[in-house]
A and B are shown apart, each in its own frame.
Chain A
Amino acid sequence: MVDPALVIISFILNIISETLNFVFSILGLPDWLYLPLFITAITLTFLLALVLDILFIIWMERKVIGRIHHRRSITETGPVGFLQNVADLIKLLVKEDMHPSNADKFMHFASPVLIASIALIPAVLIPYGPETFFMRMNTSIVLFYAISTLIPGVVVLAGWAGNSKYSTIGAFRAGLQLISYEIPLSLSILGVILMAQSLDFYRVIEIQSNIWFIALQPIGAFIFFIVTLMELERSPFDIPEAEGEILVGWRTEYSGLKFGLFYAAEYFKFFIASAAFTALFLGGWHGPFFDSVIYFLIKMHIVMLAMVWVRVTFFRPRPDQLIKISYTKLIPLSILNLLWVVLINPFVIPLLQ
C-alpha cells in the first residue's frame, strides 16, 4: 500500500519546485542559487508545520487538562478555542520589553534566543518517516543528546542574568536537575543502543519493524519516560520553575517576547523529546499496512498525552528528594535494565534482523 503521507509530501515538494522554477524563469536568477533557495523553502515549510503542530499541542494540552480538572478550558477564541494560542502569542508580542535595572543586559537578551534555537536544533536529527528525514548520520543519537544537554547551561546563565535571588535559585535548581537526570538518561539509551547495535536513529527505528523496544525493555522505557519529564522540566518535575515556591524560577524576570521564546522552547523540547521516545521505544514510523510518517506523528502525540496526564496527577518532589529518587531508584533500575538487555540480546538480535 502506498504511504498517503508521501503523496502529500511529494505534492508539496512539487508546488515548491514549480514555484521556484516560475520565479527563476521570471527573474532570470543564476542556476547555482536554486539549491540553497530550495532548501530554505523546505526548511520554512517544515518550520511552519512544526509551529502549527505546536499550536495544536498547546491547544490539546489545555483542553485535556481542562477536562481532567472538570472545567471547560478555552472555548471562546476561534472554533473550540483553537485561536486562543494565537491570541496569546499576539499578546506576548505587543508587550513592553523590560529588563531589571541591574541585570546583565546582553545575557538577558541573548539567553531566550539561545534557548529557543538550541531547543530546535535536535529536530533535524530525528527521522520522522522512512523517506522523510533531514539527515542520516552514524551518531545521531549521541549528537541529539549532546545538544539537549546544552540547555541547562543556558538556563543557568538566563537565571543569573535576571539578577534576582529567585531566578538564581531556579537556575541552580536547573543544574541540580541536570545532574540527577543525566546518568539514568544515558543508561536507558544505552539499552536501546546495545539492542539496535547502532547509534543512528534511523537504524534504531528500522530494526523495530517486528517488535518495538518498549516490549523488549519495559523498564528502560519507563525510566526514559520519567527522565524525559525531568529533562523537560514538566510537572511534577518542574523544580527549576516551581511556581508557588520560587515564583517561576529562572524565568521570573523575563516577560513579553522573551517569555514567549522560553515558552516556545519548552514546547520545542516537548515535541522533540516525545519524538525521541517514539523513535527509541515505540517503533517510529512502523504501523499496519504501510510505514509512514503518519504513524510517527500519532505515536508522538500519544506520548505527549501521557506526559500531560502525568502532569495533572502528581505532587512535585523537593529538589533533595529528586536527587534521592534519581540516585537510589532510577540509576539502580537502569543498570538492571542494562543487565536485562545484555542477557536477552543474544536471543533477540537474530529475531530483529
Chain B
Amino acid sequence: MLSSVDLKEATIKEITSVLGSDIELREMKWDKYIGFNLLKPEKITELAKTLKKLGYAQPVLITGIDRPSEGIIELVYKFNRVDSGLMTWIYVNVDRDNPRIPSITPLWRAAFPHEIETYDLMGVVFDNIPDLRHVFLPWDWKQGFPLRKDWDPNEAKKYPWWEKTREFYDPFIIPSEESDDIYYVSLGPQHPAVHGSFRLILKLRGDTILEAWPDFGWVHRGIEKLAEDKTFDQIIVYTDRLCYASSLTWNLTYALAAEDLLGVEVPERALWFRVILAEMQRIVSHLLWLAALSADLGTFHSMFLYPIREREKFLDLFEKASGARLTYSYIKIGGVGIFKHVEDVPDTWFNELKNVLRDFRHKLQEYLDMTEASESFHIRTKNIGILRGKAAIEAGATGPVLRAAGIKYDVRKMDPYLVYDELDFDIPIGKNGDVYDRWWVRINEMLQSVRIIEQAIENIPKQGPLRTKVPPAKMRGKGEGFGRTEDPRGEAIIYIVADGKNMPYRIHIRSPTYVNLSLLHYILRKAKFADIAAIIGSLDPCMAEVDR
C-alpha cells in the first residue's frame, strides 16, 4: 500500500501529465488534501476519469459557491479514497449567466445526488446527466435558485403552493401507462415506513418492484441559506436541527469546521470529552435506528421499546451534561458548553456513565436473544436490499451501509479527527451487504463505541479547561473551513467559505443519508413490496438531515 505522501505525488504527477496546462495546482490550507484549479470546465470528465483510474473512491461532495461580483459560480468537487484519508479537491469556475459543465454521473453514480442538488439550489446545469430535475424544490419551480446571492426570498411566495398541494403533484407518473399487471404506488410522503417525510414512487408488477424513484424535499428548511446570515456561534443551533437523532455529531462536525476556519485551538480535555459525547450519540442514534427497524420488520413493538429504554439512560446523562435531551447545542466552537453552570464535568457523571455502559452490554445481549436467535428475524433480513463491494462505492454509500457492503471505510480511522488515532477500536464490516449485515454492523459499532468510551474515560485528563473562550469579536475568518466526521449515518462534511465577516459566506452540509437514500433507486429493484420498509429502515433515514 502506498503511503499518503506517495499517493499525493502520484496524483499530482498523473493529473498534471494528463491535463497539462488546463489545470494548476492550488495552494491548500491543509497538507493532507490536494487542490487543483481546473481552468476549463469541459475537461472535468477527463479529470474524473483520471482520478478514477488513480483509485479514488467517490465524489464525496460537489457544491457551488456563488460569486456575483466576479460573475462566476465556483464549483468544488471533493474526491475521497477508501484506503487513505487523502482527498483531492477540484475547483472549477463556471460562468454565472450560463453555468454549464459536463456531468460526471455517467462515470460515477455517486455524483448524481450532489449534481442534482447543485442544479436545484444553485442553477448549475450538468450536461449529459440522466435525469436533471429539482429535488428539494417543487419539480416545476421557476422562481430562481435560492442559494444564489442575489435571489430574493419573496420570489418563493410567487409559487402557487396552495394550488399545487391540491392537484396531483407528480413528476413521474403517467397514469395512462398503468395496465393490468403494472401499476404505480406513491409511498409517502406520510407513511410509517419512510421515517419522516419523503416519497417513493414505485412501479410494481404484482408484488415485485420494477423501479423506484425517491423524491425528497418535504421538510426542506434551507438551513444552508439561513446560516448565511447568522454569526458563527449562532449556527450551532441550526446544526442541532439537522438530525434529531444525532444532534451532537452534527454539532461536532460544524464545530470542527468552524474551528478550522477561525483557527481556534481546543483544549486537550475537551477533545477527549468530545469523543465520549460523539460515541454516546452514536449509541443513542443506533438504538433509535434499531427500534425503528424492528417496527419496520413487522410492528414488533417489544423490540421497539427495549432500545428506547436504554436510550433513555443515555439521554438522562446528556440532560445532566447539557440540560437538553434532544437538541443539545452542547459542542461549541472552542470546546464544549458549560456543564449546568459549572465549568467542569463532575466525576459522578463519569461514574454514572460507566454504570450505564456496563448495563448496556447486558442489554445488548438481550437484543441479540430477541433478534438473532429468532428465525423470523433472519428470514426477513437476509438477502434483501443487497448492495455490496465496489457497487456500493460507485453508488456513493458511506457509513454503516458501505461497511456492511464489505468495504473497510471509516473516517475515524482514515482521517482521524479529535483523538481517535490514540484509541483502539475495530471497524466491523459485513459480507453480503444485505439488511442483516447492516444490522450486524450497527450492533457491533455500538459495542465498539462502548469500548471507545471506556478507553476515553480512562485517558481523559483529570484537570484542565473544557473550552477555549473565543470572544464574539474574534469570530471572524477568511478562507475555508472543513469538518469531516463519521456520523452514525455515514460521512458527514461541513464546508464553510468565509470572506472575513462574522458570518459565513457559504456553508455546505454533506448529508450522508441523502446519498444513502438515493441508493434506493438501485437496491429496491426486484425487491418485494413487503421488503420496502425493511430496506428503507436499514439505511437509517433521517429526513430532517436529508432535506436540510
Q: Is the pair A314, B533 in contact by a Cβ cutoff of 8 Å?
A: no
Chain A residues, Cβ within 8 Å of B528: 318-320
In the complex, identify which listed stretch (B164-172, B185-193, B211-219) lies at the interface while the others stay far away: B185-193
**A157-206 contacts to B (CB < 8 Å):** 165-166, 169
- Residues 268-295 of B, flagged 1 when their CB comes within 8 A of A and 0 if not, give 0000000000000000000000000011
Q: How far is the CA of A9 from the CA of B380 in the complex (A)?
A: 50
Q: Is the pair B529, A235 in contact by a Cβ cutoff of 8 Å?
A: no
**Given the contacts A70-B306, A165-B183, A245-B533, A318 and B192 also touching, CB distance less than 8 Å:** no
B377 in the interface, Cβ–Cβ < 8 Å? yes
B299 in the interface, Cβ–Cβ < 8 Å? yes
- Closest A residue by C-beta to B299: A243
**Given the contacts A314-B376, A317-B380, A244 and B207 also touching, CB distance less than 8 Å:** no
Chain B residues, Cβ within 8 Å of A71: 305
Chain B residues, Cβ within 8 Å of A235: 298-300
Q: Is the pair B305, A70 in contact by a Cβ cutoff of 8 Å?
A: yes
Q: How far is the CA of A235 from the CA of B297 in the complex (A)?
A: 11
| Distance in Å: Cβ of A92 to nearest Cβ of chain B | 21
Q: How far is the CA of A351 from the CA of B193 in the complex (A)?
A: 56
**B172-226 contacts to A (CB < 8 Å):** 183, 185, 191-193, 207
Q: How far is the CA of A70 from the CA of B377 in the complex (A)?
A: 21
Contact partner of B207 (CB less than 8 A), chosen from A236, A313, A319, is A319
- Closest A residue by C-beta to B192: A244
Question: Which has the most chain B C-beta neighbours within 10 Å: A245, A315, A320?
Answer: A315
Q: Identify whether the interface residues of A are mostly helix, strand, loop, or mixed.
A: loop
A49 in the interface, Cβ–Cβ < 8 Å? no
**Given the contacts A314-B374, A315-B374, A318-B380, A247 and B207 also touching, CB distance less than 8 Å:** no
Q: Is the pair A245, B529 in contact by a Cβ cutoff of 8 Å?
A: yes
Q: Is the pair B207, A320 in contact by a Cβ cutoff of 8 Å?
A: yes
B302 in the interface, Cβ–Cβ < 8 Å? yes
Q: Is the pair B380, A244 in contact by a Cβ cutoff of 8 Å?
A: no
- Closest B residue by C-beta to A243: B299
Question: Which has the most chain B C-beta neighbours within 10 Å: A65, A243, A314?
Answer: A314
Q: Is the pair A244, B296 in contact by a Cβ cutoff of 8 Å?
A: yes
B379 in the interface, Cβ–Cβ < 8 Å? yes
Contact partner of B305 (CB less than 8 A), chosen from A69, A236, A319, is A69
B324 in the interface, Cβ–Cβ < 8 Å? no
Q: Is the pair A69, B529 in contact by a Cβ cutoff of 8 Å?
A: no
A48 in the interface, Cβ–Cβ < 8 Å? no
Contact partner of B192 (CB less than 8 A), chosen from A69, A247, A320, is A247
A98 in the interface, Cβ–Cβ < 8 Å? no
- Residues 524-548 of B, flagged 1 when their CB comes within 8 A of A and 0 if not, give 0000111111000000000000000
| Distance in Å: Cβ of B42 to nearest Cβ of chain A | 46
Q: How far is the CA of A245 from the CA of B379 in the complex (A)?
A: 16
| Distance in Å: Cβ of B310 to nearest Cβ of chain A | 11
Q: Is the pair B376, A245 in contact by a Cβ cutoff of 8 Å?
A: no
Q: Is the pair B191, A247 in contact by a Cβ cutoff of 8 Å?
A: yes
Q: Is the pair A68, B530 in contact by a Cβ cutoff of 8 Å?
A: no
Contact partner of A244 (CB less than 8 A), chosen from B298, B377, B379, is B298
Q: Is the pair A68, B380 in contact by a Cβ cutoff of 8 Å?
A: no
Q: Is the pair A315, B309 in contact by a Cβ cutoff of 8 Å?
A: no
Chain B residues, Cβ within 8 Å of A69: 301-302, 305-306
Contact partner of A316 (CB less than 8 A), chosen from B193, B298, B306, B309, is B298
A321 in the interface, Cβ–Cβ < 8 Å? yes
**Given the contacts A242-B530, A245-B533, A315 and B380 also touching, CB distance less than 8 Å:** yes
Number of interface residues of A (CB under 8 A): 28
- Closest A residue by C-beta to B206: A172
Contact partner of A315 (CB less than 8 A), chosen from B183, B185, B298, B305, is B298
Chain B residues, Cβ within 8 Å of A65: 301
Q: Is the pair A244, B299 in contact by a Cβ cutoff of 8 Å?
A: yes
Q: Is the pair A244, B376 in contact by a Cβ cutoff of 8 Å?
A: no
Q: Identify whether the interface residues of B are mostly helix, strand, loop, or mixed.
A: helix
Chain B residues, Cβ within 8 Å of A246: 529
**A257-313 contacts to B (CB < 8 Å):** 312-313
- Closest B residue by C-beta to A318: B530
Q: How far is the CA of A245 from the CA of B533 in the complex (A)?
A: 6
Chain B residues, Cβ within 8 Å of A313: 302, 370, 374
Chain B residues, Cβ within 8 Å of A239: 530
A238 in the interface, Cβ–Cβ < 8 Å? yes
Q: Is the pair A165, B185 in contact by a Cβ cutoff of 8 Å?
A: yes
- Closest B residue by C-beta to A165: B185
**Given the contacts A165-B185, A244-B193, A245-B532, A315 and B302 also touching, CB distance less than 8 Å:** no
Chain B residues, Cβ within 8 Å of A321: 379-380
Q: Is the pair B379, A316 in contact by a Cβ cutoff of 8 Å?
A: no
- Residues 317-331 of A, flagged 1 when their CB comes within 8 A of B and 0 if not, give 111110000000000
Q: How far is the CA of A166 from the CA of B184 in the complex (A)?
A: 11
Chain A residues, Cβ within 8 Å of B296: 244
- Closest B residue by C-beta to A324: B379
| Distance in Å: Cβ of A222 to nearest Cβ of chain B | 15
Contact partner of A318 (CB less than 8 A), chosen from B302, B309, B531, is B531
- Residues 292-329 of B, flagged 1 when their CB comes within 8 A of A and 0 if not, give 00111111111001100100000000000000000000
| Distance in Å: Cβ of A177 to nearest Cβ of chain B | 13
Q: Is the pair B299, A316 in contact by a Cβ cutoff of 8 Å?
A: yes
Q: Is the pair A317, B183 in contact by a Cβ cutoff of 8 Å?
A: no
**Given the contacts A245-B533, A320-B207, A315 and B301 also touching, CB distance less than 8 Å:** no
Q: Is the pair A316, B302 in contact by a Cβ cutoff of 8 Å?
A: no
Chain B residues, Cβ within 8 Å of A312: 300-302
Question: Which has the most chain B C-beta neighbours within 10 Å: A69, A71, A244, A247?
Answer: A244
Q: How far is the CA of A253 from the CA of B423 in the complex (A)?
A: 54
Q: How far is the CA of A242 from the CA of B306 in the complex (A)?
A: 21
Q: Is the pair B374, A319 in contact by a Cβ cutoff of 8 Å?
A: no
**A108-144 contacts to B (CB < 8 Å):** none
Chain A residues, Cβ within 8 Å of B193: 244-245
Chain A residues, Cβ within 8 Å of B185: 165-166, 169
Q: Is the pair B299, A238 in contact by a Cβ cutoff of 8 Å?
A: yes
- Residues 312-353 of B, flagged 1 when their CB comes within 8 A of A and 0 if not, give 000000000000000000000000000000000000000000
**A215-245 contacts to B (CB < 8 Å):** 235-236, 238-239, 242-245
Q: How far is the CA of A166 from the CA of B191 in the complex (A)?
A: 11
Chain A residues, Cβ within 8 Å of B533: 244-245
Chain B residues, Cβ within 8 Å of A70: 305-306, 309
| Distance in Å: Cβ of B385 to nearest Cβ of chain A | 13
- Residues 68-100 of A, flagged 1 when their CB comes within 8 A of B and 0 if not, give 111100000000000000000000000000000
Task: Enumerate 6 A-B pairs (CB-CB under 8 Å) in ascending A order.
Answer: A165-B183, A243-B192, A244-B193, A315-B297, A315-B376, A319-B528
Chain B residues proximal to chain A, CB less than 8 Å:
183, 185, 191-193, 207, 294-302, 305-306, 309, 370, 374, 376-377, 379-380, 528-533
Given contacts A242-B530, A247-B191, 17 further A-B contacts (CB under 8 A): A69-B302, A70-B305, A165-B183, A235-B299, A235-B300, A238-B298, A242-B299, A244-B193, A244-B295, A245-B530, A245-B532, A312-B302, A314-B376, A316-B297, A316-B376, A318-B530, A319-B207
Chain A residues proximal to chain B, CB less than 8 Å:
65, 68-71, 165-166, 169, 235-236, 238-239, 242-247, 312-321
